[in-house]
Amino acid sequence: FFLSPKLEKQTKGKAQKQICQVVLDHFEKQYTAELGDAWSRVRDVLTSPWCWQHALLLNRFSQCPGLESSLAEQGYHPAFPAALPYLPAALRCYIRTAPGRFPSQKHQPGKLKEYFLLNAASLLPVLALEVKDGEHVLDLCAAPGGKSVAILQCAWPGHFQCNEYDDLRSRWLEQTIESFIPDPLINLIMVSKLDGRQIGDLQPEFYDKVLVDAPCSNDRSWLFSADPQQAVLRLMQRKDLSSLQFQLLRSAVKALRPGGSLVYSTCTLSRAENTDVISLLLNSCRNVMPVDITDMARGVSQEFAFLSGTQQHELLVLPEKGRAWGPMYVAKLKKMSST
C-alpha cells in the first residue's frame, strides 16, 4: 500500500492522515473473508482520503440565491433521481464525481447555515424511513445530527425526538440543530439524553418511525486512528458493539406503534454489526417483519455501488473510485400489530 511520491505529497498537503497498520491488518483479514474480491477495491478508496467525495445537503430553511447555479458550474448535480419511491421536493442534495469538498460553514449563533456537508450515502437511511408530515419520529442515536437535519428537510414531524446519550455528542447535536432549524420550529424538536436501550420501556408504542443510526466501528475513521493503543482497544471492544446494537434495536421496536417502521443503519462493512444483528432481531421478535427496499436501491444504483447478494430488506454501500460513498448499511423493518 505504498503511495507514489507525488500522491504522498498530495495527501500530506490535504490532511496529515496516517493509516493505522494494526486496523488495516485487522480489516484485511476480516473483510477479505466477508467481501471477497470487492474488498481490494473498497480498501483502495478507504485508504486514499484524497479520492473521497463530499455531498452538500441544502437547507430549506435558509435558501441562498445563486448557490445551486454556482454548484452546477463546479460540476455538481442533484444526487437522487425523481423516480425514487420517496423523495420530497424539499430534500436537495448535490454531488459530483470529482473528489474534494466544498468549504464548510462555521457555526454562528443566531445565523442559519445554508448547507450541510456529508457523505451522500448517509441520506439513504432517511430516504428509507419515508417520514411524512405530522408523524411521531424518534432518532435514537442522533449525534452529530446530520440525519436529524435531513429528516427535517423531508417533512415536519408532529413530534420529533432526537436522542443522544453521550454528553459531548449531545451538545454537538444541539449545535447542529441550532445551525439549521429556525426558531419557531426548533421548539417542536425535543433533544433528550436518555440511554437508548431504555427508551422503548419509557415510551412504549409511541412512535410512527424510528431511526437507529447505531454506534458502530466506523471503518473510515478507524483506519486513521492516530493512537495505535487506542486502535487496539477499539478492535478489542468491537465484538461488544453488536450486543449494544441489538439492545438498541429491541428498545426501538418497543417504542414503535404497531404498523410503524424502523430503519437501522451503520457506517461499517462488518457483517457482525449489520446483517447478523438484523437477523438476530428478526429471529427473536415475532412482531417484526422485513420491508423490501430494493426499489430505493435500484433508483440510486447509478450513484452508489452496492454489495451483491444482500437480502431485499437491506443494502450495503461499498465505496469505489468515482463513487466513493459509504460504507453505509441500511435495513428496514416494520412492527406488526400484536393480534
**Interaxial angle between packed helices 228-255 and 275-284, expressed in degrees from 0 to 180 and rounded to the nearest 10:** 30
Contact present, 318 and 307 (Cβ < 8 Å): yes
Active site annotation includes 51: no
Q: Any residues with CB less than 8 A from the CB of 320 and at least 6 apart, and which?
A: 41, 42, 45, 305
Is 314 annotated in a binding site? The answer is no
Is 147 annotated in a binding site? The answer is yes
- Render 170-219 in DSSP notation, one character per residue: HHHHHHHHHHHS-HHHHTTEEEE---TTTHHHHSTT-EEEEEEE-----H
Is 254 annotated in a binding site? The answer is no
* Active-site entry in 162, 216, 267, 285: 267
Lookup: cell for 274: 449489520
Is 335 annotated in a binding site? The answer is no
Is 142 annotated in a binding site? The answer is yes
Is 100 annotated in a binding site? The answer is no
Is 164 annotated in a binding site? The answer is yes
Alpha-helical segments (H) within 36-102: 38-46, 67-73
The single-letter code of the amino acid at 184 is P
Lookup: cell for 252: 426501538
Distance of CA 3 to the CA centre of its chain: 30
Contact present, 273 and 330 (Cβ < 8 Å): no
The single-letter code of the amino acid at 339 is T
Is 195 annotated in a binding site? The answer is yes
- By the 10 Å C-beta count (0-12 exposed, 13-18 middle, 19+ buried), 203 is classed as middle
The single-letter code of the amino acid at 276 is D
Q: What residues are annotated to the active site?
A: 267
Binding site members: 141-147, 164, 195, 213
Binding site members for S-adenosyl-L-methionine: 141-147, 164, 195, 213
